[in-house]
Amino acid sequence: MSNGLDVHVGDSAAPVFTSPSTVNFTVGAAGSFAFTATGNPAPVITQAGTLPPGVTFNNGVLAGTPTAAGAYTFAVMAANSAGNSLQSFTLVVAASPSPTPAPTPKVPVDPTVVTNDLTYIKNVLDSIAVFVPPIQPFVKVLDAVLVNQFFIQFICLAINMFNNGFSKEEVSQACTNLLLHKMEHEWKVN
């Protein structure tokens, strides 16, 4: 005889992990990983062993911002009334990528600050003469002449253009135009 109440509890099943046994985090970056396991009744997941500094384990979830690189192996267990399952787990914490350095701001070269130091001027001219053909004659005669204000302005024009991202061709054209202007208007060379 039945009292009309039929209760079906279902079959019990021991836990089985369904989550991977390895996960990757990065130093300085927040990470999170949830362990998963099947089983009936639903299993409770616990952890035993050393976690990386900055990472915690709560309610089956690894979370945090690791502060030290390395491979950290520990045990996790899923358990219910039907049994338990033990899994060796490895949390690999990679070093944070090297930050990209901020570009060094380019400071304009001020002709009033540049001295008449022939060695300095010659080194600057040598370094840009390859890209700016109009400078090449000055490089050849620089050791024999006193550097005047025009040479300093000319060098500063080229350096400032390079510093501001102008192409070699644009710098060459601007330097050529400056030379032609000086030759035609101030030096009276035709």
pLDDT tens, residue by residue, 53-65: 999 999 999 999 9
Domain that holds residue 138: 118-186
* Shared domain check, 122 and 50: no
Q: Is the pLDDT of residue 38 over 90?
A: yes
Residue 172's SS3 state is helix
List CB contacts of 106: < 8 A, sequence separation 6 or more: 163, 164
Radius of gyration (Cα) for the chain, nearest Å? 37
Torsion of the alpha carbons at 138, 139, 141 and 145, rounded to the nearest 10:
80
Average pLDDT value over all residues in the chain:
75
For residue 56, the model assigns a pLDDT of: 95
| Amino acid at position 137, single letter | P
* Shared domain check, 137 and 180: yes
124 versus 176: the higher-pLDDT residue is: 176
Is residue 113 assigned to a domain? no
* Shared domain check, 127 and 81: no
Q: Is this model's pTM higher than 0.95 or not?
A: no
Whichever domain contains 85, its CATH number is 2.60.40.10
